[in-house]
Amino acid sequence: MIIGIPREKAADENRVGLPPAAALGLVRQGHEVLVERNAGAGGGFPDEEFTAAGARIVHSRDEVYGRAGLIVKVLAPTAEEWECLQPGQALAALLHLAAQPARLLKTLCERGCTAVDWAVVADERGGLPVLRPMSQIAGRILPQLAARWLQSDHGGRGVLLGGLPAVPPAEVLILGGGVLGRNAARAFLGSGARVTLLDADYETLRELDWRFGGRLTTYMASDSALNKTLRYADVVVGAVLIPGARTPHLVTRDMLELLRDRAVVFDVAIDQGGCFETSRPTRLSDPVYVVDGITHFCVPNLPSLVARTATHALGNVALPLVAALAAEPVADALRRNRELACGTAVFRGRVVHARVAAAHGVPHEPLDELLDR
């Protein structure tokens, strides 16, 4: 198969769909890999490394889309790329289709495409193997960002994250105890902050309490617990994920008044719609805005801050799935590989993921029934 890796067009996105090492693996399996010129430059992967891996550098986005049977990206195509999608083409990326414009889903359907959303590819234990490393990166990078936006010169409260003797540290509230939330908890605790975490699952809270030796304060998620913990938070992290669906707004605009003045909220669920009613996507080069005295940081591609690390991590987990997609006709690959089947949102122009269909109000057809025809 011809596999295409275009240059990412999203704002301030420096990652690339696969690193040269992954391209080499695909070439050795007999596939042709086309990489758009300078696609890896933002992550420190020059064209020469892709060429040395056996990939072919092409000079236009149109050639990548026009020749490839399978397109591998980091993020969903932008509006300028929608028209590049070819009839019957397969697309694999962190698509988050439930939160994307309806026009992208319509284009995928009209052109009979198959779309595999890395964000909902699930293993037999219910884990999200491709999304996991991106969530780990986002969680672990948050303390250094929080420290900056708490500084007085950045409009913050002027609070040192780890505090000092006789001066208390910053109070951090994390909403959600999944991969991102627990990595954020680990990183913030390591920085010396006081950390409180809310989750709706008691077993998750029990396991986190044991893992962190009681250093992490935990609450069952409820309106009363949220109202209580917001009142003393300097930093709030929105880390709630419902795979394939839009994230519910847990914090309304009225609830912002509970927060301390010049507190910082990080809505890391913004790529799925966001945990805060007042959230809107921002970009790394202009990441924050202020609502009612509260600083909002709502960058959807946070791992792009460490693009090289993120690309290697993405390649490690995505390569076996890309190889499985490319090894045989897509329908056969989906029959054999349940992880890929779980992540398929659109199959030959039919919406097969129930939550994506519900988010856009379109009909849903079970993938298994289409594969059996």
Please identify every residue annotated as catalytic.
Answer: 96, 271
Bridge-based pairing state of the strands 114-117 and 90-94? parallel
Bridge-based pairing state of the strands 171-175 and 2-5? unpaired
Tell me the two tokens of residue 355.
């939550």
Is-contact 249 276, C-beta < 8 A?
yes
> 69 in helix, strand or coil?
coil
**Phi, psi (5° rounding) for residue 350?**
-105, 135
Q: Could you give the CA distance from residue 359 to residue 346 in angstroms, rounded to a whole number? A: 14
What single letter denotes the amino acid at residue 153?
D
296: CB partners within 8 A, 6+ apart: 265, 267, 276, 278, 279, 280, 282, 288, 289, 290
Q: What is the dihedral of CA 343, 348, 350, 354, to 10 degrees?
A: -10
Q: Could you give the CA distance from residue 199 to residue 65 in angstroms, rounded to a whole number? A: 42
Cα distance between the two ends of the chain: 24
* Helices 202-211, 179-190: crossing angle, 10 deg rounding: 30
**What is the separation of C-alpha 76 from the centre of its chain, rounded to a whole number of angstroms?**
11
Bridge-based pairing state of the strands 56-58 and 114-117? unpaired
**Phi, psi (5° rounding) for residue 33?**
-115, 120
Q: Could you give the CA distance from residue 325 to residue 91 in angstroms, rounded to a whole number? A: 10
27: CB partners within 8 A, 6+ apart: 33, 53, 54, 55
Tell me the two tokens of residue 363.
């009909």
